[in-house]
Chains A and B, each alone.
Chain A
Amino acid sequence: MKKGLISLVMAGVLTAGLLAGCAGGAAPAAAPADAAPAAEAAAPAEGGSGSGEIKIWVADNVVDFTTKRAAQFMEEYPQYAGYKVTVEPVGEGDAAGNMITDVEAGADIYAFAQDQIARLVSAGALEEMNPDLLDAVTTENDPGSVAAATVGGKVYAYPLTSDNGYFLYYDKSVVTDPSDLDKILADCEAAGKNFYMEINSGWYQTAFFFGTGCTLTYDTDDAGNFTACNVDYASDKGVIAMKEMIKVKASPAFQNGSAAGEATNLAAIVDGTWDAGTVKELFGDNYACAKLPSFVGDDGNTYQLSGFGGFKLLGVKPQTDENKLEACDHLAGYLAGEASQQLRYEEVGWGPSNLKAQKSDAVQADEALSALADQLQYDIPQGQYPGEYWSLATGLGDDIIQGNLNPDSSDDDIMKALQTFQDTCISYAK
């Protein structure tokens, strides 16, 4: 058997040869540390010129828009014309995942939802904001969006939209009173239609918990690590919220989901502005939007549903070439600037985070955006949450949907589930 290794050995030797052969080509790429001095030597002192490729990842429906705006950027700022911009359709969720998997191969500029920012910072996939642009970005955008782009006191990304929140879309012909959750459900039941809300998502779920006054936030250090968790879900307030979720789930009209495009028999849905077009098509003339409803809790008090106010951000990844970094910074700043946000709203309907763009007539007249603006008064700006939180929250929601927690569950059972939830949340902060 030992003697028989020969064929394997030969294979091994061939490999060695092969890899030695390719090593010449691979080595510089493999060891960027070695390559760094060369880049330094090549760097001209001033001016932000340079050449290369800038890769941008954005969601599919804004690829054309982004390509167009990037071309305009090159016209307006010819000093960066040496860079060739390519825009690829990579959704916000995939972009963050890919950036973390392989920063080097990832995009230079990419859009992501702000809940990913802590992960991205600790994986080294986000560069701090260029100090030259910092002032403009922080003053021109709404404070919530700037806070969302900040980790450990440093701003890491350019606010892109201020519309990552949810509110109620409803069918005027079915829902008579959009301000009362119980009435909405009753109307839907009576009409044999469905009410959609994704209660097994850590994002939508907070509508109930924050609504009854619970808190759940995390503190982060400069590197994006979670240091402490402030949570009081395991309380009477939490139990009231849970009971309301269980009650909603028990309604035959309830459907778990938040994608209008996949909903059937829809009469009302808790969803965001990105689905405005789809819902408008579905409801036609009966299309209407409102802030989230309120509900009468188990204790007899009325609670207004709250939730996360969220933002989409544009990030620049760390670069080994200072010139390119400068070009990326300015391009990202341009793509997230007032003019771009305004145009983006006009073309694809994304609600701007830029204060001036928010004040424009078109934005002010938008039903969905004004419903969102109403709702945002009750919302908590979304801070940083560890990745595990989202799957934990899905677990909590699934326990309700599966009926592990149901209208017959005692307060103790509910409290126990919330206690587990709370303890696990705390355990994520180390």
Chain B
Amino acid sequence: MAENKKPKKREYAAFSLKDNLKEIGTTFATGDWKTKLSFLIMGFGPLMRGQIVKGLLFLFCEIAFIAYMIGFGAKYMVKLPTLGTVETQKIGRKTVYGDNSFLILLFGILTVIVVAAFILVWRMNVRENLIEETALKKGKALPSNKKFLASLLDENFDKTLLALPCLGIFVFTVLPIIFMICVAFTNYDKNHQSPTNLFTWVGLQNFRELFSFGSSGFGGTFVTVLIWTLIWAFLATFIDYFLGLAVAMLINKKGIKLKKLWRTILVLTIAVPQFVSLLYIMKMFGNDGIVNGYLMKWGWISSPIPFWTNPTLAKVMIIVINIWVGIPYMMLIATGLLMNIPEDLYESARIDGANPFQMFVKITLPYMLFVTGPFLLTQFTGNLNNFNVIYLLTQGRPQSMKLVGNAGYTDLLVTWLYKMTVTETNYRMAAVIGIMVFIVTAVISLIVYNMLPSVRDEEGFQ
């Protein structure tokens, strides 16, 4: 791939902590007074050397950081080790809330990250001084402010484009995930609910609870739910894949007319919001729904079929209804791809006397599997966390005494996690389960990823 990626200049690149410290030291020792003052007042050097924009940016960072720490961050960070000690009190009939462990944890984490980021910015500030001084010593002119700003639309355009998305992802994805990982090590549950009650660090206790296999321990339930999650993801992915492929080939068949109509009928499933269609289907198969209603009216059955209350039947129903949901996607994808298979492959196979089935196994399937390998992986991980189908159809029910923590036989880890959060407000166990979901997804992805030759070389695709 042609890419104007010259070998990176390594002269300022220092990777180890030791090198970093050494460079900071020498910058200070050899630098002029402007550089030396920059160690305290960030951006001072660049400002004095005419690099107004960069200088102001550094200065702004420092001021913002100090304001943040004094006005907000510091008081949360100091309480991070205990997550608060001041209890809620009653003064007369008035309630005076004490420390809010939740906010202490959340903003404590944020502050730690902000401090780390500030140190990095400070480091950049030091290096900027070094770069400028070296350039000036060599007699080179520093780039003008205008040029620096213009570069944000040209060679530094990536920074402009990515700044906002990265900020959003940091605040609404990274920070919450770090927070919830920390919650897994606390006792934050319904008995330790902010702001009335405090919660605190408990180490690995929640993980021990997840793997305890007593009568009320989470172990047995976790294993049951995990196994069903894996079975579900496997069946949902592959049944839909092959049936979708079959339907696509059926519609693509030579001589079939109204291709567009058939496709449009199927695609309706994608267009109609799932909460409408799936809730209707759930009601349709209920004990009092029309399916049982008609079957009984026609005298085929005497009592309703327990579609949702029998665990095995409920699982089968979910998989079957997921076919209804999943086939159209696969059909759309397969339709496009099937047309890409060179026709002469089939032609020569036909001359060799291959029957349609042989052609499917020898040509179509290998091609499709090769091309859609990554898609299958994303489908699989998507199905591991397929909340809508399960929750709209059964909400994880039916339950049993054999399962703890409000789990049901059709619960996936992710729906269980949801119930744990919303119905039980057992955040600590929800966090532990969330981490488990991550581990399962990551392990499976890693294994499959390494088995797929086509994904590894990203540039090879282009």
What is A's interface to B at a CB cutoff of 8 Å? 2-3, 5-21, 23-24, 26-27, 30-33, 36, 40, 97, 100-101, 103-104, 119, 122-125, 127-128, 130, 200, 225, 252, 254-257, 262-265, 318-322, 325, 387-388, 391-392, 394-396, 398-399, 401-404, 417, 420-421, 423-424, 427
Report A-chain residues with C-beta under 8 Å of the C-beta of B15.
Answer: 2
Asked whether A97 lies within 8 Å of B96 as measured between CB atoms, the reply is no
Asked whether B159 lies within 8 Å of A398 as measured between CB atoms, the reply is no
Asked whether B193 lies within 8 Å of A27 as measured between CB atoms, the reply is no
Asked whether A122 lies within 8 Å of B65 as measured between CB atoms, the reply is no
Interface assignment of B450: CB less than 8 Å from any CB of chain A: no
Interface assignment of B110: CB less than 8 Å from any CB of chain A: yes
Since A5-B120, A122-B190, A399-B401 are in contact, a sample of 18 more A-B pairs with Cβ atoms closer than 8 Å, ordered by chain A residue number, is: A3-B13, A12-B114, A16-B68, A16-B117, A23-B71, A32-B195, A100-B190, A123-B196, A123-B425, A124-B196, A225-B191, A264-B288, A322-B93, A395-B403, A402-B398, A420-B215, A423-B215, A424-B216
Q: B162-170, B254-262, B355-363: which lies at the A interface?
A: B162-170
29 contacts between A and B (CB under 8 A): A11-B170, A12-B117, A15-B117, A16-B68, A17-B64, A20-B67, A21-B64, A26-B72, A30-B107, A32-B96, A100-B193, A101-B422, A103-B193, A103-B196, A123-B193, A123-B197, A123-B425, A124-B95, A318-B95, A318-B196, A319-B94, A320-B94, A388-B406, A391-B399, A391-B406, A395-B400, A395-B402, A398-B399, A399-B401
Asked whether A420 lies within 8 Å of B401 as measured between CB atoms, the reply is yes
Separation in Å of the A19 CB from the closest CB of chain B? 6
Report A-chain residues with C-beta under 8 Å of the C-beta of B94.
Answer: 40, 319-322, 325
Interface assignment of B293: CB less than 8 Å from any CB of chain A: yes
Separation in Å of the A187 CB from the closest CB of chain B? 16
Interface assignment of B266: CB less than 8 Å from any CB of chain A: no
Asked whether A398 lies within 8 Å of B193 as measured between CB atoms, the reply is no
Report B-chain residues with C-beta under 8 Å of the C-beta of A103.
Answer: 193, 195-196
Report B-chain residues with C-beta under 8 Å of the C-beta of A127.
Answer: 93, 95
Report B-chain residues with C-beta under 8 Å of the C-beta of A427.
Answer: 215-216
Report A-chain residues with C-beta under 8 Å of the C-beta of B166.
Answer: 7-8, 10-11
Asked whether B124 lies within 8 Å of A11 as measured between CB atoms, the reply is no
Contact with A9, one of B86, B110, B120, B403 (Cβ below 8 angstroms): B120
Instruction: With CB as the reference atom, state the residue of chain B lying closest to A266.
Output: B288
Contact with A320, one of B97, B170, B171 (Cβ below 8 angstroms): B97
Q: Tell whether A9 pairs with B303 under 8 Å between CB atoms, given A124-B197, A402-B309, A420-B215.
A: no
Q: How far is the CA of A142 from the CA of B189 in the complex (A)?
A: 35
Report B-chain residues with C-beta under 8 Å of the C-beta of A7.
Answer: 158-159, 162-163, 166
Separation in Å of the A100 CB from the closest CB of chain B? 5
What is B's interface to A at a CB cutoff of 8 Å? 13, 15, 60-61, 64-65, 67-68, 71-73, 86, 88, 92-100, 103, 107, 110, 113-114, 116-118, 120-121, 124, 158-159, 162-163, 166-167, 170-171, 190-191, 193, 195-197, 215-216, 286-288, 293, 302-304, 306, 309-311, 397-403, 406, 422-425
Instruction: With CB as the reference atom, state the residue of chain A lying closest to B113.
Output: A12
Asked whether B96 lies within 8 Å of A33 as measured between CB atoms, the reply is yes
Separation in Å of the B355 CB from the closest CB of chain A? 46
Report A-chain residues with C-beta under 8 Å of the C-beta of B73.
Answer: 23
Q: How far is the CA of A265 from the CA of B193 in the complex (A)?
A: 45
Asked whether B71 lies within 8 Å of A395 as measured between CB atoms, the reply is no
Asked whether B311 lies within 8 Å of A12 as measured between CB atoms, the reply is no
5 residue pairs, one from A and one from B, having the closest CB atoms: A124-B196, A12-B117, A20-B68, A23-B72, A395-B401
Asked whether A325 lies within 8 Å of B68 as measured between CB atoms, the reply is no
Q: How far is the CA of A33 from the CA of B166 in the complex (A)?
A: 34
Q: How far is the CA of A33 from the CA of B124 in the complex (A)?
A: 39
Separation in Å of the B405 CB from the closest CB of chain A? 8
Asked whether A19 lies within 8 Å of B196 as measured between CB atoms, the reply is no
Q: How far is the CA of A429 from the CA of B121 in the complex (A)?
A: 53
Q: How far is the CA of A257 from the CA of B93 in the complex (A)?
A: 43
Asked whether B68 lies within 8 Å of A36 as measured between CB atoms, the reply is no
Report A-chain residues with C-beta under 8 Å of the C-beta of B97.
Answer: 32-33, 36, 320
Q: How far is the CA of A396 from the CA of B99 in the complex (A)?
A: 41
Asked whether A16 lies within 8 Å of B114 as measured between CB atoms, the reply is yes
Separation in Å of the A37 CB from the closest CB of chain B? 9
Contact with A16, one of B118, B159, B163, B422 (Cβ below 8 angstroms): B118
Contact with A124, one of B88, B110, B287 (Cβ below 8 angstroms): B88
Q: Tell whether A130 pairs with B113 under 8 Å between CB atoms, given A3-B13, A19-B72, A256-B309.
A: no
Asked whether B399 lies within 8 Å of A395 as measured between CB atoms, the reply is yes
Report B-chain residues with C-beta under 8 Å of the C-beta of A394.
Answer: 397, 399
Instruction: With CB as the reference atom, state the residue of chain B lying closest to A264.
Output: B288
Report A-chain residues with C-beta under 8 Å of the C-beta of B93.
Answer: 127-128, 130, 322, 325
Q: How far is the CA of A310 from the CA of B72 in the complex (A)?
A: 47
Q: How far is the CA of A401 from the CA of B293 in the complex (A)?
A: 19
Separation in Å of the A207 CB from the closest CB of chain B? 19
Asked whether A9 lies within 8 Å of B196 as measured between CB atoms, the reply is no
Separation in Å of the B85 CB from the closest CB of chain A? 12
Contact with A417, one of B162, B399, B401, B406 (Cβ below 8 angstroms): B401
Separation in Å of the B119 CB from the closest CB of chain A? 10
Contact with A36, one of B71, B96, B287 (Cβ below 8 angstroms): B96
Report A-chain residues with C-beta under 8 Å of the C-beta of B398.
Answer: 200, 398, 401-402
Report B-chain residues with C-beta under 8 Å of the C-beta of A254.
Answer: 303
Separation in Å of the A15 CB from the closest CB of chain B? 6
Asked whether A17 lies within 8 Å of B401 as measured between CB atoms, the reply is no
Q: How far is the CA of A147 from the CA of B311 in the complex (A)?
A: 39
Report B-chain residues with C-beta under 8 Å of the C-beta of A9.
Answer: 117, 120-121, 124
Contact with B311, one of A14, A104, A396, A402 (Cβ below 8 angstroms): A402
Instruction: With CB as the reference atom, state the residue of chain A lying closest to B123.
Output: A9
Of A33, A263, A401, which is in contact with the most chain B CB atoms at under 10 Å from its CB? A33
Report A-chain residues with C-beta under 8 Å of the C-beta of B118.
Answer: 13, 16
Asked whether A101 lies within 8 Å of B113 as measured between CB atoms, the reply is no
Asked whether B72 lies within 8 Å of A20 as measured between CB atoms, the reply is yes
Q: How far is the CA of A200 from the CA of B287 in the complex (A)?
A: 14
Asked whether A392 lies within 8 Å of B401 as measured between CB atoms, the reply is yes
Report B-chain residues with C-beta under 8 Å of the C-beta of A5.
Answer: 120
Report B-chain residues with C-beta under 8 Å of the C-beta of A26.
Answer: 72
Asked whether B425 lies within 8 Å of A20 as measured between CB atoms, the reply is no
Q: How far is the CA of A9 from the CA of B121 in the complex (A)?
A: 7
Q: Tell whether A13 pairs with B117 under 8 Å between CB atoms, given A20-B67, A255-B304.
A: yes
